[in-house]
Amino acid sequence: MKKEELNRLLEKYYSGGSTADEEEVLRSFFNGADIPEGYEAEKAIFGYYSALIDIPGPSHDFEVRILAGIDESEKRRSWVSTSNLNRFILSTAAGLLILTGLYFFFTDKNELEDTFTDPELAYAETIKILLDVSSQLNRGTRVLEPVGKINEVKTNNIGKNLKNLEYIRAAIDLTNVSDGKK
């Protein structure tokens, strides 16, 4: 193909005035091996278009499948809105149940009554309970008595060791005095 003819077809193509036959001529020309220098970009463009021809078009039931997908999406959306309505109703009912329970909990409180009518009997019962608690606490502290004995043993051992050190120091002092170093 001559350069003038090629430039005229490309100009028509880029301006949008080319026919399908002219575009097919351009496509077949740029798919060939004999392309003049300076037309590498057009070769890449028409090579891309040739590759697109191999892509299959939509199947005959494409529209039916799209419409079925839309219908299914609408069904899901209605189920979600029903689910949200159920969730709202259940949460409202739970809130009302909690409020009702709290109302009865706080309003149905009876006044505290004394369990003993005689104050001396109440005092005696209190003393009895406090003595029981005291004996339980004392029983718990008896378990800790061996820990205190360990502390006493350590203190006694430290005192003995200090006495031994004083004896050794005194012996050293006596040795130094007898040697005349001091």
Tell me the Ramachandran region of residue 116: left when phi exceeds 0, alpha when psi lies from -120 to 50, beta otherwise: beta
HSE on the CB side for 149, CA within 13 Å? Answer: 5
Helices 20-31 and 3-15 pack at an angle, to 10 degrees, of: 130
At 95, is the secondary structure helix, strand, or coil? helix
Which residues fall within 8 angstroms of residue 45, CB to CB, at 6 or more apart?
30
Alpha-carbon span 22 to 13, nearest angstrom: 8
Checking if the pLDDT of 179 tops 70, the result is no
| The pLDDT value given to residue 110 | 66
Residues 70-107: tens digit of each pLDDT: 888 877 776 666 777 888 899 999 999 999 988 888 88
Query: Per the structure block, which two tokens stand in for 137?
Result: 């606490």
**H helix intervals, the chain:** 3-15, 20-31, 40-53, 62-107, 119-142, 145-179
The residue with tokens 């003049």 is: 36
Alpha-carbon span 35 to 42, nearest angstrom: 10
Which residues fall within 8 angstroms of residue 18, CB to CB, at 6 or more apart?
9, 12, 26
Minimum mean pLDDT among 18-27, 46-55, 100-109, 123-132: which range?
46-55
Rounded average pLDDT over 169-174: 80
| The pLDDT value given to residue 100 | 92
Query: Per the structure block, which two tokens stand in for 33?
Result: 């091996």
